[in-house]
A and B are shown apart, each in its own frame.
Chain A
Amino acid sequence: MIRLWWRSLARSLRSGRTLFLLAVLGVALGVASVVAIQTLNQGALGAFDGSVRAVSGRADLTVLGLTPAFPETLLVPTLADPAVEAAWGLCRVDAAVDGVEGLLLDMVGVDLLAPVGLPLEATLGAADPGDAQAGILAAMVTPGWVAVTPELAANQGWAVGDAIEVSSGSRTAPLVIGALVDFRTLDPMAPPNLAVMDIAQVQGLLARPGLLHQIDIRLRPGTDTEAAAARLGVALGPGVTVVTPEQRQQDTRSLLAAFRLNLTALSLISVFVGVFLVLSSVQASLTIRRREFGILRCIGATPLQVRALILAEVGVLGLAGIMVGIPLGYAMALANLQTVSGTLTNIYVLDGISNLTLTPGVVLLGAAVGLCGALAGALWPAVEISRRDPLVLLAPVNLHEQVSRIAFRLSAVAALAAIAATAWFAWAGSRTNYGGFIYGGIMMLALPLVVPLVISLTAGSARPRGIGPALCLRNLAVRRQASTLAVSALAVTVSMLVGVTLLVAGFRSTLISWLDVTVRADIYVSSKSWARAGPEATLDSDLLAGLRSWPGVAAVEEQRRMHLYTADRRFRIWLNGIKVADIPGAELATRLPLKKGAPEAVAAGLEHGEILIGEPLAQKARLDIGDTLVLSGPSGPLRYRVAGIAYDYTSEGGTAFVTMPTLQKSFPGEPTSNAALFLEPGADQDDLLRDLRAAYSDRPLVLRSNADLRREVLAIFDQTFAVTGTLRTLALIIACLGVALNLLVQARERAGELGLLRSLGATRRQIFGLFVGEGLGVGILGLGLGLVGGIGLAALLIVFVNRQWFGWTIRPAWAGQDLAQQAVIILLAVVLAAVVPAWKAGQADPLTLTRDDL
């Protein structure tokens, strides 16, 4: 049997090279999309985990502020706990490097005397540069001493002893590269932009005296971590939380859950479409070789043996697909690194992904997906052909196989499934987390099942009046089984394309109209290190005073943005304290489009210390006007009555707004992080911007015009959705491969028919046209079905999934132009996919007419 299998494999490879290659490509692309997305997902988590492990790898517990920073004196009660063996404070700052656009150092200020265990090398100021530890003291006393990673130093051309200037908020500090510290030796995923300084220098130069951002704790061996965490939680008071490294990683995972789930769901569509490809290629190759199987059955092979023979062959196909798909997926992940990384920093305020690794887990997953996908695609045809009567297999192919009866049954099943799923979703599913995805998945599975019926109804009724479209449609209807596969694959893909396109278009247009209302100031001022909205990226009061008195500036609005937890620690939100500019039209209540609440009432509420919350927060925390939002404050819970709910698209996690006086009541002395300038009527924005830039050229400021800001917001938005573009393209390529495959198979199967047509005088061009027409028919049917599916999918995404996972109101926008453009692209792609098969068909020789044909 093994020998037979080898022979049979060799034969099928020889005879069906293109077929095999297409199927391999289908598997490969499906595997690639899964590998790419999972690698990126892992990279996103790895970036965070890597930095956690590199900095806090020796810590059993970490104290983190529920407010942006906490008093350093908390070190004392921390050290007093009986389970604590060592504890050290960290002061962490995002520092922009002067002259290097977009580079933020993740500055870790640590007590270098503490047993942190940093691999410092080549330390500046140490008498013996080879002696790593000798330099710690030098690190403490050399002004501006900073250790950077060898990777960053190599990228920037820095050497030990070089001077650089960095900024945190509007503060700048001259630093000197004191050592290279390779965090990779601590954790392979450590980001290259980590930098280490003595805590005194970070706190004194770039952050605020008296405040820490983190305390790392090493426990005595054998102590109960949970109990210690609980005890410390009580001892350290309400302003901080004590977590294990695992909990920190878990927090990031849940923070990114929605983002990752969406990408995963999109990548699964590629797999789904890839399975169709395998299905049709296996079906085709089996059809071609049915006689071979008939003979095998006649001489005594059992159905099981035949099935095993086929599945083993498909296994080879799957393996080949995996071999191609895994490297391809990794390459795709690399290609999308920038955009995904940008999303992480911009939207999720996390570390960008600095390096990707192909983990064994992902390789295994890719392999499993490839193999299972290939086998899943082959199972039905294999079972079907092995069950057949040997004599039937030996007889000429009967085109009227039992599809027509099955078509209606399948459609009935699909209808039942859709109705059942809808009912479930309406009653229960819409309230569960994954309900929307499950419902969408079922509907996507049901879509292919109605395809045979749709083909029967549309193509089957075509009345050919010549070698034209109607005959093409008739041909599709006749080969319903093959056509169904191609149309289904395309329909599912188009559904995804249309669904995501409508979602993105709706979201974008909603965002634009939201920006029109909210972004009203003329010039926006923030610092270079503000990119991740770190708590220390603040503006000096003298700077703000200077802006206020600048000629032409009518008013300055100030904002303090802080990352805070709700008291129940379920949500981490951005609390914005806003000192509203004292000019008409700048009032907070009218500036943020209200979803709920009257502007006058909201304005009054805010004046009285109430809070205006963003829609996502209201949705997730189930808050309404009059409810109380309880946040963790520095010394206990802060209670705010909800005055109104505003549309808000600035953050997935949740946003809330209070007046600056309200904020400062709970956080006295919190500095301003951003400012917005309203100009006097008649003041020239461009001139003023130029003058300000010139005047503050020595300060690490970012000055943006109103238009700049909007452009950047939209650029971030586009970047966020860019990765879906890759996935969409991938699915489209797979679907087009499906069309090509289908037609190639037809060119083979229908050699007899084509020979007849040729002998009756049909030219090659006519045959070519016929095939392209059939491809176009598949395209149009797939497009039509996909459009319907896609609109449904978009509705599901916008109304349920988005609401549930993100909590945004998205107003649907009919992206007519986008959709038309995509339709044209799809049809072109399908026609292109049909070209090679059509050309092959055109080569059909009248001589191929044999007794077996037709």
Chain B
Amino acid sequence: MKSALRMILLAMAACFVLGAAGGVWRDAAPGYRWSFPADLAAHPDYKTEWWYVTGHLDRPGGETLGFQVTFFRVGLLPPGKQTGRTAWDPRDLVMAHAALTDPDSGRHVFSEVIRRTTPFLGGFGSPGDSMLAWCAAPAGTPGKWTLVHADGVFRVRVRDNAQDLAFTLTCRPTRKPVFHGDGGFSPKTATGDVGSLYFSQTRMEVQGSVRIAGRGTPVTGSAWLDREIFSNTLGSDQKGWDWAALNLDSGEDLMLYRLRGKERHDDFALGTFVDSLGAAAPLPGNAWRLEPLRWWASPHTGARYPVAWKLTVPGRNLTFRLEAVLPDQENVSALTGIHYWEGAVTVAPWENPDRIIGRGFVELTGYGEGSRPPV
């Protein structure tokens, strides 16, 4: 079964079954008129979207923790094709991933849920609902995983008893949303005709509690929310992407992504630079370079991931050393068979690796066999 869902998702991607069957998914296009808080909620007209929260949590008497919570919505039938006869109608899948990295113990814990959306197993709120996304916790754990937005605050709640993973976090944005690309349309190819609707809450103050070694521990910290909405898939010659989201102590933020082609290392790349006042500017692919310095081979999947980089942004006169807080921050999804690296990193000046001047998250997909992401 492990490979079954991967195959489904691949089928969605490669064969475009639903697109072919329905043909009514809306494509992400430039000129999208954003509206809040409505655009925080789900967009059923689009096939795929996600709410991606990553961040760093400080706790009393220990190293900074890294965390990730993601809710994916994968549309099965476009609204016009749904029958509405039963709760089981194949509208969407809700897929949720949660991870916690503890450099002290060297543990990276990953938990996941994948369900068909039903009123009792999981779903997404409509515009106006405070519940943005939720699903019943993994089998064996009572309760729900939730992502709520109310009173300008995001609340995340995740629990997996079998993995001894739980956190409840409140994330308060301290900046306005940052729209990537062209007013929030972020192209994925050089021609610019395929892309996603994409914005981020780059800086959020976090308060809450995390379960560490069986005990609830109060934490504070910072987090980044990515919201991406689209209907297309990776180009057939693309095999994955590298993505980084960095918060510098100076108040500047950086979002960088690059799609890796099967032939070329850089198929397409783009970034966004946010200055200390919160003003964002696109960072074209040729304006920055991210070079792997060190590789780590996963004992779980055999995939080799870079875990240290040299980042240079010549136009801004920036050269950094990015270093994973733990090499093994690989998420291996037993339910879908997908694996990817999603890890907390520290940012240091290139010339002084010991002085941490910022923190961030890096996502690496499409490394190793059978790891091409389905979207």
Contact = CB atoms under 8 A, between A and B. Distances in A.
**Contact between chain A and chain B defined by CB under 8 Å:** yes
Interface of A: 72-73, 75-77, 79-87, 111, 113, 115, 117, 125-128, 131, 133-134, 136-138, 140-143, 198-200, 203-205, 209-210, 220
A82 B1 contact: no
B192 interface: no
Interface size class of B (residues with CB under 8 A): 35 or more
Contacts of B287: none
B105 interface: no
Interface string B107-147: 00000001110101100000000000000110111110000
B76 A137 contact: yes
Interface string B1-36: 101110110111011011001000000000000000
Contacts of A126: 11, 15, 17
B137 A140 contact: no
A80 B11 contact: no
B7 A140 contact: no
Nearest to B18: A141
A81 B140 contact: yes
B162 A141 contact: no
Contacts of A138: 17
A203 B77 CA distance: 18
B335 to A, nearest CB: 9
Given A73-B120, A127-B17, A133-B4, A85 B90 contact: no
A67 B18 CA distance: 38
B352 interface: no
Given A126-B11, A141-B90, A200-B88, A80 B137 contact: yes
B166 to A, nearest CB: 14
Contacts of B7: 131, 133-134
A633 to B, nearest CB: 22
Contacts of B10: 134
Nearest to A137: B8
A84 B139 contact: yes
Contacts of A199: 86, 88
B88 A203 contact: yes
Given A80-B142, A113-B115, A115-B1, A134 B8 contact: yes
B165 to A, nearest CB: 14
B85 interface: yes
A199 B12 CA distance: 20
Contacts of B293: none
Given A127-B15, A210-B87, A84 B140 contact: yes
A199 B118 CA distance: 12
A87 B87 CA distance: 17
A80 B143 contact: yes
A617 B314 CA distance: 89
A806 B338 CA distance: 58
Nearest to B9: A137
A665 to B, nearest CB: 27
Contact of A220 (B8, B114, B116, B140): B140
Contact of B15 (A75, A82, A134): A134
Interface in B86-106: 86-90, 93
Nearest to B14: A127
30 contacts: A75-B120, A76-B121, A77-B142, A79-B139, A80-B141, A80-B142, A81-B140, A82-B140, A84-B140, A87-B139, A115-B1, A127-B14, A134-B7, A136-B4, A137-B11, A137-B12, A137-B17, A138-B17, A140-B76, A141-B18, A141-B77, A141-B81, A142-B21, A198-B88, A199-B88, A200-B83, A200-B86, A204-B83, A204-B88, A204-B89
A133 B142 CA distance: 30
Contacts of B88: 111, 198-200, 203-204
A138 B120 CA distance: 24
B286 interface: no
A79 B89 CA distance: 20
Contacts of B120: 72-73, 75-76
B163 interface: no
A82 B161 contact: yes
A136 B8 contact: yes
Contacts of A210: 86-87
Output the residue of A83, A137, A220 with the most chain B CB within 10 A: A137
A209 B121 contact: no
Contacts of A209: 85-87
B140 A85 contact: yes
Contacts of B162: 82, 220
Nearest to A120: B4
Given A136-B4, A200-B86, A203-B86, A127 B11 contact: yes
Contacts of A131: 7, 11
A85 B4 contact: no
A24 B151 CA distance: 92
A88 B282 CA distance: 47
Given A80-B137, A140-B76, A204-B85, A113 B93 contact: yes
Interface in B47-98: 76-77, 81, 83, 85-90, 93
A204 B15 CA distance: 27
A133 B4 CA distance: 6
Given A113-B115, A198-B88, A85 B139 contact: yes
Nearest to B84: A204
Contacts of A85: 139-140
A86 B121 CA distance: 13
Given A141-B17, A204-B88, 4 more contacts: A75-B120, A79-B140, A131-B7, A204-B89
Output the residue of B18, B86, B137, B142 with the most chain A CB within 10 A: B86
B344 to A, nearest CB: 30
B93 A75 contact: no
A113 B18 contact: no
A117 B1 contact: yes
Contacts of A134: 7-8, 10-11, 15
Nearest to A220: B140
A200 B86 CA distance: 6
A79 B88 CA distance: 17
Nearest to A58: B1
Contact of A200 (B18, B85, B139): B85
Nearest to A76: B120
Contacts of B139: 79, 84-87
A575 B77 CA distance: 41
A143 B22 CA distance: 12
A85 to B, nearest CB: 6
Nearest to A205: B85
A128 B15 CA distance: 9
Contacts of B14: 127
A41 to B, nearest CB: 36
Contacts of B8: 133-134, 136-137
Nearest to B335: A115
Contacts of B12: 137
Nearest to B5: A113
3 interchain residue pairs of minimum CB distance: A204-B85, A80-B142, A200-B88
Output the residue of B89, B121, B140 with the most chain A CB within 10 A: B140
Contacts of A80: 136-137, 140-143
Output the residue of B5, B17, B81 with the most chain A CB within 10 A: B17
Output the residue of A84, A113, A209, A220 with the most chain B CB within 10 A: A113
Given A76-B136, A133-B8, A220-B140, A125 B17 contact: yes
Contact of B114 (A73, A77, A113, A203): A113
Nearest to B161: A82
A200 B140 contact: no
